[in-house]
A and B are shown apart, each in its own frame.
Chain A
Amino acid sequence: MSDLNKLGLAEARDALRKGDTTSVELTEACLKAIDAADALNAFVHKTPELAMERAKAADERIKAGDAPSMCGLPIGIKDLFCTKGVPSQAASKILEGFKPEYESTVSQKLADAGSVMLGKLNMDEFAMGSSNETSVYGNAVSPWRRGNDDAQLTPGGSSGGSASAVAADLCLAATGTDTGGSIRQPAAFTGTVGIKPTYGRCSRWGIVAFASSLDQAGPMTKSVRDAAIMLETMCGHDPKDSTSAELAVPDFEAMLTGDIRGKKIGIPKEYRMDGMPGEIEKLWSDGAEMLKAAGAEIVDISLPHTKYALPAYYVIAPAEASSNLARYDGVRYGRRATLEAGDGITEMYEKTRAEGFGHEVQRRVMVGTYVLSAGFYDAYYNRARRVRTLIKKDFEDAFAAGVDAILTPATPSAAFGLGEMTEADPVQMYLNDVFTVTVNLAGLPGVAVPAGLDKQGLPLGLQLIGKPWEEGDLLNTAYALENAAGFVAKPQQWW
């Protein structure tokens, strides 16, 4: 078989089971593709020896007939996941040299299932960003280009390296994490599929924490079927995460029938933003038509507090981040600033954090510190948490009225050029998450599905939002949308 790195998880699994290829061959193809793709800056720590070791072990397992779906499949892991003995820096200078002594629950589950880690993937520093431009490793670059224009585009963020690597066929799939849209926005920008499951589905243990009440891991893949396969492996109760749900994980792949007849799909009017590009609006109505043609009923719904999701997020997420990132103090792990004679412990903290954190991370830590400080806690933090209650209620009301899933655009535009947003104020960058952040605040599952190309030839995605714990049903609706949209475009190789 040729171009093994271009396979998806399902195809590769089936080929392995039939004996048409081996995990070693798949892994070698991916490692070759990775070495030829340094221009994308997607893989920032390569682990070829570990990969070959795991591939050989997987081939033994497959031969012995003990092969779960993920067995032998080469994947990339976002740098936010702690991986034992392998650098895990959250793309931050402050974690330079950090090699965890333990493995995150999600990456352990993937390893236990026999999947092959190829290396660690680029991302925004501490997952704070929407363009992968805040990384200590430098920008990850999208394999997509605007026609013949050679301007470098963002793969999105924060899971930019994951999106770039999957879209460029450097791996069969990758892990991502999503606090405000960090799986779904990069997936939409790169023509890939990304699902953020219900809060509590995937253990957060061993994943570098950003905003603990919002963070969730999820798969980034080449198809909805692949997302179902990989998500099932990543999910499950973990006593080491107190918010991890004690619920059985269904066979998500078996739920992909493509039959959505009678399903009620809500179209929220508040997502029709002023100044929304015509192409996004058309993609959205085309998506609704496709679901209707597949037998679903399309209904207009209202989620009245949508407008307040982004400002609430930019109180809650920085507040939690300021608390979570207090641990980077130059004492227990990572980097400590060089001190001058007479510097005490306070100078050590202040200098270490000033040179270890990048600009965006510093800004968010300080905003979080401010909104939690005495005198402002009620006005900002408690008010934002009240608004969050209302945002969640909006969704509960819609679901109570019989809606099965909600269809929205995934992003307000196609991918922008790296550096194009540098001059814009931070709030402009935050607007990238306007359609995705509500889902994190409400703890719901959301999936981005590639649905078309814009006139410059760049991918555009639609988002489906589901009921809590109904990832299987949500993925089935996504599967129907994927089938109808028939998105097959791939970036032309220039790297």
Chain B
Amino acid sequence: MSIDQSTAAKVAKLARIKVEDDALPALADEFNNILGFIEQLNEVDVEGVEPMTSVTPQRLKRRKDEVTDGSQQDKVLANAPDAREGFFAVPKVVE
């Protein structure tokens, strides 16, 4: 499996990381290098083996579906780069 520049651009887009066009060839090379290393996994016979979901045998605990926390608007917004009138502010999303 080899990654070309357009795949590298697509991955960058999916990851929401801006990559300039002239940086794409080097990025594709890096991906290919790492994926080449990962390819070794194809040597392993995994027939009938369950993919691990939890490293310790445990079931996630459940709790009652009720409000246990809240009313901390100031704290929630304290670190926002742009907060106005009690909300997070972002550039215009819809026309």
Contact = CB atoms under 8 A, between A and B. Distances in A.
Contacts of B3: 370
A390 to B, nearest CB: 6
Contact of B91 (A308, A345, A363, A386): A345
A350 B58 contact: no
Given A366-B15, A386-B49, A311 B40 contact: yes
Nearest to A376: B1
B22 to A, nearest CB: 14
A336 interface: yes
B51 to A, nearest CB: 3
Nearest to B12: A366
Contacts of A336: 81-82
Nearest to A348: B91
Given A200-B56, A331-B80, A314 B88 contact: no
B64 interface: no
B30 interface: yes
Interface size range on B against A? 35 or more
B75 A305 contact: no
Contacts of A245: 56, 58
Nearest to B93: A345
B78 interface: yes
Contacts, number: 162
A350 B18 contact: yes
B44 A308 contact: yes
Nearest to B77: A332
Contact of A97 (B11, B34, B79, B93): B79
Interface string A366-406: 11011101000000101111111110100000000000000
Interface string A298-339: 000000010110111011000000100010011111111001
Interface string B63-95: 000000000100110111110000010111100
Contact of A344 (B14, B72, B78, B91): B91
Contact of A311 (B33, B38, B72): B38
A333 B83 CA distance: 10
Contacts of A293: none
A487 interface: no
A263 to B, nearest CB: 24
A367 B31 CA distance: 7
Interface string A244-263: 01000000000000000000
Contacts of A326: 16
Contact of A390 (B17, B44, B56): B44
Interface of B: 3, 11-12, 14-19, 27, 30-31, 33-35, 37-44, 46, 49-56, 58, 60-61, 72, 75-76, 78-82, 88, 90-93
Given A198-B56, A367-B34, A383-B46, 8 more contacts: A332-B76, A333-B81, A335-B81, A366-B12, A366-B15, A370-B11, A373-B11, A384-B41
